[in-house]
Amino acid sequence: MPLDEIPVLRKAASSRNSIHKARSTWQCLHPDASRSFDPKALLPTFKCHVTNRYDIDPTVLGEGADGTVRVASDRTSGQKVAIKEVEIRCDVTRELFLKEVGIMKDLTHPNICKLMETYEDGALLYLVMEFCEGGELFDRILDNGMTEVDSVNIIWQVANALRYAHSRSIAHRDIKPENVMFSCKDMADGHVQVIDWGMAAQFDQIQMMDMVGSTIYAAPEVLTAESLHQEYTCKVDLWSLGVVTYVMLSGRTPFWGRRADILRNMAQESYPLSGTPWDTVSSDAKDFIASLLKRAQDQRPNAMSVLQHPWMMKRTRAETDMDSMRRVLIRVSEFSTSSHLYILCMAVLARQVGHQNLRSVHKVFCELDTNKDGILEIDEFRRGFERVFGAGSVEMESVDQVFSCLDLDRNGTVDYTEFCAASISEHVKMQEGVLWSAFKSFDTQSDTRITKEAIQRVLQQADLNRRPEHVYGEMARKALRQHDEDHDGTLDFKEWSKMMRNCGRSSTKLSVYARLLKCCAGICVARGQR
């Protein structure tokens, strides 16, 4: 904001009449409370071959009964992704694919791999996901072994992902080292993500009675469910977590041999916890394993209790960087003054950005999420703002309005995608590759141009208010009037990028202006009271 405008504001605030004007201007700057989007609806599905946009490496990253995963590169931006190919042989295969897509759309958490987009090409279906370039936990166990410190830090993250998924009535049912991936190659960055939700089930909708997963890591009730016709619960994931912990600390599995021997030892809770290497493992770690490898489901802790176990308290806790936290929360405040279309675009962009561009955002989100349920409630948000800005700050006065703006789907909480949309740094969101990822979500025809119809369709699909169709048409026309520089009725990538950059800068300026107005309104009230 130009400095010569500040005296004008001060002068305007000197009379009682200007109090109303300052307040009214401030209220106008705040977003419409009726604005609400469903971020899940922004995940695009393309009806074309995936090779139109990606060069796929023939090397197979992973292979299972339901599909093959390979690494690929975006032909325009060079961004690396993981692509799972599924061949539809029957209606059941299609149903399983759509179930996995639906579950991954619903999961937005720092320790769960992102689904970015899907493709349909005849009998072939594709899931495009974030590429975790650090590789599998399984490989690191084989290559280097795991220290107890490394193990507790990784298990803490997986348990966080499970607590979040279970709170949404989703059980993974195939937790194993191969399905825990490191986000990057940097050995000092131990961030992991849970992948492969193909076996997952929404246990509030179905009875879980099928035998799925890997025998070595599956709970005993999973292995006997079909023969005994018995239902099991999401605590099967906690048994698997116990086995993974055992393998990380010892390099061996707790149960081996013939199937009958495995089931007998499971039922007796019989497995080695003494001798080499267990003599050098802490008693807390061994107690943690024993608490999870309980034959009876109801004797195992739930995911929340797992996070409270004494061994979990030994994890490495990064010191809070208050300067970084302040910068992120200032960006969050600035986001609350953004336009409908810009907020929608940022929500799209947030699902396309990988961990390496979100490290500071991830740390702040986890710092704010004090109860570790994977979402932010208003009380957590307020405490974070008060800690950073102070109880009597201007930021604290508007914290509820900022929270309301971030809560795009109006469910009373802020999830990870919503928080990322508001807090991605200017440096990251203005990178050409990042902008391209968001651009192609609107470019459904893959012709490098966004039409009015495409903008209107995305707005209509995502808006939870279900306004009349002409409203979305007018919003799309307005976007084109403002940003279609060559007047061809579409936005090319250059025009799109300029729109995003200009909208981002406008939000920052508007936020500063709004805070000044708020301060002036407060000064006027104080003088009026005197």
Active-site residue, 447 included:
no
* Block residue for tokens 């279900």: 466
The model's confidence at residue 146, banded by pLDDT at 50, 70 and 90, is very high
Per-residue pLDDT tens digits for 360-370: 899 999 999 99
Mean pLDDT score across all residues of the chain? 86
Per the CATH hierarchy, to which homologous superfamily does domain 135-314 belong?
A: Transferase(Phosphotransferase) domain 1 (1.10.510.10)
CA–CA distance from 270 to each of 309, 448, 527 (Å)? 22, 61, 76
Q: What is the DSSP letter of 319?
A: P
CA atoms within 13 A on the CB side of 139: 12
Q: What is the DSSP letter of 31?
A: P
Return the percentage of the chain with pLDDT > 90, whole number.
58
**Contact residues for 328 (Cβ-Cβ < 8 A; gap 6+):** 360, 361, 364, 423
Q: What is the DSSP letter of 76?
A: T
Query: Considering 150, 174, 443, 463, which one is annotated as catalytic?
Result: 174
pLDDT for residue 383 is more than 80: yes
**Mean per-residue pLDDT for 319-336?**
88
**Mean per-residue pLDDT for 493-498?**
89
Before 277, cis peptide (omega within 30)? yes
Contact between 97 and 86 (Cβ < 8 Å): yes
Ranges of each domain in the chain: 42-130, 135-314, 320-442+492-503
Q: What is the DSSP letter of 398?
A: T
pLDDT for residue 322 is more than 60: yes
Per-residue pLDDT tens digits for 224-251: 998 889 999 999 999 999 999 999 999 9
Contact between 203 and 233 (Cβ < 8 Å): yes
> Which parts of 9-103 are beta strand (E)?
45-46, 54-64, 67-74, 80-87
On whether the 320-442+492-503 domain is CATH 1.10.238.10, my answer is yes
Please state the pTM of the whole predicted model: 0.86
Contact between 119 and 46 (Cβ < 8 Å): yes
> Which parts of 164-274 are beta strand (E)?
170-171, 180-182, 192-194, 201-202
The model's confidence at residue 36, banded by pLDDT at 50, 70 and 90, is confident
CA angle 191, 361, 347 (to 5 degrees): 110
| CATH topology assigned to domain 42-130 | Phosphorylase Kinase; domain 1 (3.30.200)
The model's confidence at residue 149, banded by pLDDT at 50, 70 and 90, is very high
